[in-house]
Amino acid sequence: MEEYEARGDELENVKGSLKSEILTLQTKNHELRKEVEITSMRIDRLARKSNLMIYGFAEISGETKTHLQKI
């Protein structure tokens, strides 16, 4: 019977350790998602920074770079 109690205690310790590791990983995952979002916004802003803005031309719905290059 003592063997089962010892094994149960060991499993409880493992369970607690796993819960702690899961919480740590969830926190890290959240931080990384925020970092990816910030980096994506920076890349988007830098990509748009060098774009030319031309007024007076109507935009066509669904136009692509290839379509615009042909014009």
The reported pLDDT for the residue numbered 64 is 83
Residue 62 in tokens = 């669904």
Give residue limits of the domains in the chain: 2-70
Taking only the tens place, the pLDDT of each residue in 30-70 is 999 999 999 999 998 888 887 888 888 777 788 887 877 77
Residue 23 in tokens = 């919480």
Amino acid at site 13: N
Residue 33 in tokens = 């998602």
Here the contacts of 1-10 (C-beta below 8 Å, separation 24 or greater) are none
